[in-house]
Structures are given as C-alpha cells and as structure tokens.
Amino acid sequence: MKIRPSLLLVLLLARSTIAAGDPAAELASFSVFDKIDINELVKSDVETIHGPPMAGRFLSVQSCYVVPGSPEKQMAALKNWDPTKHRELKVFLHFDLPPSPTPENFSKLKNAPDNGSVRAFVSATQKLSNELQISKEEAKKFSTSQNGDGIAAVAAPWAQVLSARAKSFVSGGTAALAPYDHSGEAIRANEELQSLLKQQDKIRKQFSGLLSESGIGRSAGSLKPELYWELLDVDDHGVVTLGASYNRAGGNYQAADVLYYASGGYYVALTLYQMWPVTADGKAFTLVWRGDMISAASLEDLHGVERLGSESVMMKDISKAVTLFRRDTGGR
C-alpha cells in the first residue's frame, strides 16, 4: 500500500508525540536500556552497562539514573561540579577557561601535586617520549634544556601548547586541531570523534541537533562551548586534557562534554546526556541517560576477555564518578 504524504506526516507526528510523552520509550529508542521502571530507579543507585559493541580502539558505556529536581537543576550541577574534591577520581587539577584562552590561564599547572603520575608526565615531556600526543610543530616548543626538577620545568611550554589548541578549537572546532604526529602516524581528534559516532548510529541521530551546532567532530558551530582543562591520572601517568561542554534546554534537555585533546592515555572522549522531567510519588525528578565513548590506542589490539576487562574498568570508573556527583549535588 502506498502511503499518502499527509498520512505519513500524521504517523511521524504521532510517533514523535509518543516519544515526547513517554521518557522510557524515548530512552529505549536509542539506548541499550530497553525497559526501565522510574519508580525503581528513584530508589536505586546508578545503573551502568556495556554499550553496543564497538570495533577497533573504541569503547562505550551507558548509564541511567534518576535524581530529584528539574533538568535545569541537573544542567547547572554538571557545569559546577568539581571532581578534584574526590581523590579516588584522580583528577589533580580542574579549571575553567575563558572564551579566548592564553598561556596565563594554565599557570596553575606549575602547582600540580608532586606524585608519581605527575613525575611520569614530567619525565615523558623532558624526553619527548613517543607516547606524547603532540604535533611535530608543538614538539619544537619543548627543548632538552628543560631539565629542572618537577612540573615547573615543563609548565611554560605546555601552557603555550594548551592555549594554542584551545584557541584552535574555539575558532574551528575539532576540525581545526593539529594532529598527533610527533611520533609518526598522524592521529586526528576530529576523525576519532567522527568514527566514534559513526559506530553509534542511534545515538548520533538522537543528538544530531546538538552535535550539528557544536564543534564536536566538525568545524565550530553556533553554540558557544564552555571550556576547561584538567590534569589527571591515566594508568599511573599524568595527562593534561582540554575539554568543552555544550547544552540545550527547553523541551529537549541534552548536553555534550568532549575531551578533544589529551597529552597521552587516550585520543578523545565524549560524554552525552539526555534528561527528561518525570514524576514519582507526586514529586519532581529528572531521568538522566549518560553515554560515554572513548578512543584509545591501548584498546586497539584487545579482544575477548581482555576487551571485556577494559569495559568493566570503564563501567566501574563511570559508576564511581556518577555516584560521587549525585552525592555532592543532593541526587542521593
């Protein structure tokens, strides 16, 4: 039977109305959570499970939880949360950045704690290790004369590299970022993000509006990013990262957080959020879906049990972060 255009429009509108009016149905349409019970989630901890299988150097994990209050409140909480308060998350420094960053905005790097992870980061920098994810041009900013003790010996050139990359991202999105080609093969953050999303087609379609207005996997969009930088631990090595957050509110509550640069440990990471206002026992809550995706060289050759092990570690880390976030923000 041939469907008339007018009938097709009615069917599409009906499907949209069902999705908009039923958060659980919409969640099931793009995520691995086929069936949820809002009332049970209100009383439970975060539920974190494996995402759809991904090939190559990519992994994904999805989470679902319910918190008191409105989506607007959760958006604000995400923006203001400080992970450095929790030593177990191993985020040593976290600072917001202005729209046009300068090296001075990274001056706190020289005050990083003196621990094994940071010492490993300093050593890798001074040796220009092949594991450093920088461009050939950026490598020229680091000279062998920087042989002092501690993070202060390498803080200045890193401030130059990070501020330049942040400016490139603001002006041209991830498409404008220099490749990681210091050690040979050219790895481009833009292509890594595109590949991540290509393997998550349902999620890509669900967030197409937000992503098309961002600088994630493309040139700069119409949405202005909220910028930040961090120094954290990845497998006992210090890593400096650059991140950006985007959000949309008003009927379709979505947010995206991208780590578009990392000095090592992983190439890129992307976290997406969808939120819905829901009611349980006559009280206002927010249903939150979170999807995490990562690209890392260390994942490329993992198969079977080893790959499942990496996914389990990722799930555990995300569950821990969400639990601490909820505790800090009154979510549980």
pLDDT digits (tens, 9 = 90+) for 232-261: 999 999 999 999 999 987 778 999 999 999
Place of tokens 């493309």: 218
Annotated domain spans of the chain: 34-328
pLDDT of 21 reads: 67
The percent of residues in the chain predicted with pLDDT above 90, rounded, is 74
pLDDT of 302 reads: 61
Give me 120's structure tokens: 């490993």
pTM of the model: 0.90
Give me 268's structure tokens: 């890129």
* Closest C-alpha among 266, 226, 268, 216 to residue 95: 226
pLDDT of 281 reads: 86
pLDDT at 114 over 70: yes
pLDDT at 195 over 80: yes
> 87: how many CB neighbours lie within 10 A of its CB?
8
Answer with the residue of higher pLDDT: 25 or 1: 25
Residues in contact with 288: Cβ distance below 8 Å, sequence separation at least 6, in sequence order: 63, 64, 65, 66, 67, 74, 273, 274, 275
pLDDT at 6 over 80: no
Dihedral of alpha carbons 185, 175, 234, 117, sign:
positive
What's the rounded Cα separation, in Å, for the pair 204 and 119? 39
pLDDT of 93 reads: 97
Q: What share of the chain is helix, strand, coil (3-state, %, to 5)?
A: 45, 25, 30
What's the rounded Cα separation, in Å, for the pair 66 and 275? 9
pLDDT of 73 reads: 92
The mean per-residue pLDDT over the stretch 175-204 comes to 95
pLDDT at 180 over 50: yes
3-state secondary structure of 226: strand
The mean per-residue pLDDT over the stretch 135-164 comes to 87
Packed helices 23-30 and 5-21: angle between N→C axes, nearest 10 degrees = 110
* Sheet architecture: strand order including 283-295: 47-50, 58-68, 283-295, 268-280, 253-262, 237-248, 226-234, 91-97
pLDDT class of 310 with cuts at 50, 70, 90: confident
pLDDT at 85 over 90: yes
Give the chain's mean pLDDT: 88
Give me 29's structure tokens: 């349409």
The mean per-residue pLDDT over the stretch 9-26 comes to 53
Q: How many residues does the chain have?
A: 332
The percent of residues in the chain predicted with pLDDT above 70, rounded, is 89
pLDDT class of 332 with cuts at 50, 70, 90: low
* Closest C-alpha among 72, 289, 74 to residue 200: 289
pLDDT class of 53 with cuts at 50, 70, 90: confident
Q: How distant is the alpha carbon of residue 296 from its chain centre?
A: 13
